[in-house]
Structure 1
Amino acid sequence: MSSMPTQKIHAVMLSISSQDLHSLNTLRLPSRALACVTLEDTGQLPELSALAQQYPQVHVLGGGSNMVLAPKIGGLTVRVRLPGIRLISESDDAWLVEAGAGEVWHDFVRTCLDQGWPGLENLALIPGTVGAAPVQNIGAYGVEVGSRIDSVLAWHIPQGRMHCLDASECRFAYRDSLFKHAEPGTWLITAVRFRLPRQWRPVLDYPDLQKHPLLARATSTEQGDSAPAGPTARQIFDAVCDIRRAKLPDPRELGNAGSYFKNPVVSTTQWEALHAHHPALPGYLQTDGRWKLAAGWLIDQCGWKGKRLGPVGMHTRQALVLINYGGAQATDVLALEEAVRADVRERFGVELEREPVAWGQP
């Protein structure tokens, strides 16, 4: 990990105010940050570090797509709105592309494809910002963002210094990273650098992609050719968007945080025992010899798909997605979470873990 000198840039001073967060979290939970600032320029970072010393907690807010917010959020909340997309360099092997933490993730993926930089198409339509992507190590349809990251520029708030962490230092794992384990308020990601391969190959491991009409046609032999034509990155992007729109509700219409539970990973012994009793249980062998289970299948088998508990419920088309049907608070969400976890634990002996981060005391 290398530290970097702070650029002395004239920036507008940070303004502290109370902030209604109801429209700034995709679960649409009523919440208010008692003290909030908006970070729009890296020149504001030294001021932010000085300000943070006055508060017992610091929360960093991106797109609000992966959190359960209590009605009141104490401490200091920092809304990250750092913009910018640029090509840093290119070589025979890859393009090195940097994006500001405040960029909308899906828009960034689309911009990369528009510029002819493939590699992120499987991660299309994931809500949130670029800066939040490394924290959760977002992933979908066979690709995790950590596999495409070259380095992360992050401000260490207590130290008041910028650091450049390479991918190995970020300690990426399934829905996990260094940033998730650090004390809240330690790191603020300002930009992410992606290494996107020139020798691009499509990732089509998931059945949903293989069965999509657009990709099925692209991989079939056409007009007597001896080899499949193969899909383009843009075709995969479009297919992923189609699949996600068909399976997942739009947060603007139904409050949700995407996949609410992680897919559990179990030992080979536990997998063999589960599979013997439940032959239809989907399982995916991991590189470390363990097995990843489909949390949505487990939840569905427990009867929670489409089932409601007060103002919240699990979605009718995707049992992994927790829905706010209107009027819910954090306590309603956490009560449903515990009910689902208890049923899966009792029936399968498997412990589910929440993906979103909970802020404040419900």
Structure 2
Amino acid sequence: MAQSLQPFHTFSLPSQCPQISVITDNRQLQQQSFSLPFCILGEGSNTVFLNDYQGVVIKMATTGITVTQRVHDYLLEIAAGENWHQLVAYTLKQGMPGLENLALIPGTVGAAPVQNIGAYGVELAKFVEYVEYFDIASKQFIRLSAEQCEFGYRDSIFKHGLKNKAVITKVAFALPQLWQPELSYGPLQQLEQVTPQAVFEQVIKTRNSKLPDPYVLANAGSFFKNPIIANALLNELLLVYPQLPHYYYDGEHHKVAAGWLIEQAGLKGHRIAGIEVHQQQALVLVNHGNSRGSDLVTMVKYIQQQVWQRYQIKLQHEVRLINGDAEYLINLEEPA
């Protein structure tokens, strides 16, 4: 009997699947069949089902937090199903700061390493000690060091070499006892009192002012990656758009703000069916309802085309799109 996927992803497009398997104990994975197409899901805040899914949705709902105090840091070992923001709040309450810049990012701990979540100058990779995963082929639990995870900007081995081969079951973080704040991003530079709690509260305030609550207005958070462009292109663009926000990436590249590009292209409020470029933050697409996956695909392609025509920059979507029984990448079709 088909089950609705609408409550299982925050973009809330109407879709169904034949089976949803909820994992509350990692040992269930050893009995779980992976012979059909499958999709691993946390809270569905970075995944959109464009239409009916033809396989099994495996929802990780395991819980558990273990803390070990070491000489210079705290080792936190966290089950994949734990809520990310609640973990950040817990660490501050326990006097173990470090993750406060990553407050209010939706989703689970197990989903966080897949795209190496980041915000306000901090990336998850900075704190990862190891990631444990269930290897589907061998049915063994394997640990990778942070280096073995091959973290990059919104990237990891779980998007490449281990894609569809692994289910993340636990993530371990090392939080230094000597706290060093990261205040490089705008709103954090204005803080009068610099404490972990103050940073935490400012990040929440900033995110709430820009990003709609997905449980009030359906969305999947930041929809596009901030593009990394060559310095030569950046210099050309700055001559025309001197206000373009840009951040050092490496000696030959800078990262530019995708939301700014979309907004300056005049796309805020642009709507296709019930899909809209959010009025407060152009990086977010919202779903007012009465929408289908095809409407979202049309919107993404339109945004990509407009940004390309204006800036010669290719936008890539950060959100995972599931179409039928597989992941679907919407790539810009360059005009001839």
Kindly state the Cα deviation for residue 102 of structure 1 after the two structures are TM-superposed: 0.3
Provide the C-alpha distance between the structure 2 equivalents of 1:186 and 1:329, rounded to a whole number of angstroms. 30
Task: Indicate which of 310, 318, 321 corresponds to 2:281.
Answer: 318
Provide the C-alpha distance between the structure 2 equivalents of 1:298 and 1:95, rounded to a whole number of angstroms. 40
Q: Secondary structure at the match of 2:297?
A: helix
Kindly state the Cα deviation for residue 70 of structure 1 after the two structures are TM-superposed: 2.4
Provide the C-alpha distance between the structure 2 equivalents of 1:25 and 1:75, rounded to a whole number of angstroms. 16
The alignment status of 1:70 with 2:54, answered yes or no, reads: no
Deviations 1:180-237 (A, max 9, x none): 11464311000100010111111110012223xxx2x21xxxxxxxxxxxx1111111
Deviations 1:253-305 (A, max 9, x none): 11111110000001111111111221111111113431000101110111111
The alignment status of 1:355 with 2:334, answered yes or no, reads: no
Kindly state the Cα deviation for residue 335 of structure 1 after the two structures are TM-superposed: 0.8
Name which one, 1 or 2, has greater alpha-carbon Rg: 1
Q: Which residue pairs with 2:334 in the alignment?
A: none
Provide the C-alpha distance between the structure 2 equivalents of 1:309 and 1:332, rounded to a whole number of angstroms. 6
Q: Which residue pairs with 2:186 in the alignment?
A: 207
Provide the C-alpha distance between the structure 2 equivalents of 1:307 and 1:72, rounded to a whole number of angstroms. 26
Q: Which residue pairs with 2:143 in the alignment?
A: 164
Change (3 A) 1:32 1:304: same
Kindly state the Cα deviation for residue 32 of structure 1 after the two structures are TM-superposed: 1.3
Provide the C-alpha distance between the structure 1 equivalents of 2:2 and 2:165, rounded to a whole number of angstroms. 22
Q: 257-266 or 63-72: which moved more? A: 63-72
Provide the C-alpha distance between the structure 2 equivalents of 1:305 and 1:266, rounded to a whole number of angstroms. 23
Provide the C-alpha distance between the structure 2 equivalents of 1:310 and 1:138, rounded to a whole number of angstroms. 30
Deviations 1:145-186 (A, max 9, x none): 111111001001122111000000101110011101146431
The alignment status of 1:330 with 2:298, answered yes or no, reads: no
The alignment status of 1:243 with 2:206, answered yes or no, reads: yes
Q: Which residue pairs with 1:152 in the alignment?
A: 131
Q: Secondary structure at the match of 2:279?
A: coil
Task: Indicate which of 29, 48, 65 corresponds to 1:45.
Answer: 29
Q: Which residue pairs with 1:14 in the alignment?
A: none
Q: Which amino acid aligns with 2:100?
A: E
Q: Which residue pairs with 2:333 in the alignment?
A: none
Q: Which runs of 5+ in 1 are unaligned?
A: 1-16, 219-230
Preserved contact between residue 27 and residue 323 of structure 1 (Cα < 8 Å): yes
Provide the C-alpha distance between the structure 2 equivalents of 1:342 and 1:322, rounded to a whole number of angstroms. 16
**TM-score where L is the length of structure 1:** 0.87
Q: Which amino acid aligns with 2:25?
A: D
Q: Which residue pairs with 1:83 in the alignment?
A: 63
Q: Which runs of 5+ in 2 are unaligned?
A: 329-336
Q: Which residue pairs with 1:19 in the alignment?
A: 3
Provide the C-alpha distance between the structure 1 equivalents of 2:12 and 2:51, rounded to a whole number of angstroms. 11
Provide the C-alpha distance between the structure 2 equivalents of 1:42 and 1:263, rounded to a whole number of angstroms. 35
> How many residues in Structure 1 have an aligned counterpart in Structure 2?
325
Provide the C-alpha distance between the structure 2 equivalents of 1:271 and 1:239, rounded to a whole number of angstroms. 30
Q: Which residue pairs with 2:218 in the alignment?
A: 255
Q: Give the fraction of aligned pairs with identical amino acids, expressed as a percent.
A: 40
Deviations 1:87-128 (A, max 9, x none): 1x2223210001110001101111111111111000000100
Q: Which amino acid aligns with 1:140?
A: A
Q: Which amino acid aligns with 1:282?
A: P
Task: Indicate which of 1, 7, 19 corresponds to 1:35.
Answer: 19
**TM-score where L is the length of structure 2:** 0.94
Deviations 1:34-69 (A, max 9, x none): 222111102212112xx113x1x2210101000120
User: In angstroms, what is the RMSD of aligned CA positions?
Assistant: 1.3
Preserved contact between residue 273 and residue 290 of structure 2 (Cα < 8 Å): no
The aligned runs of 1:89-168 (5 Å cut-off) are 89-168=68-147
Q: Which amino acid aligns with 1:114?
A: K
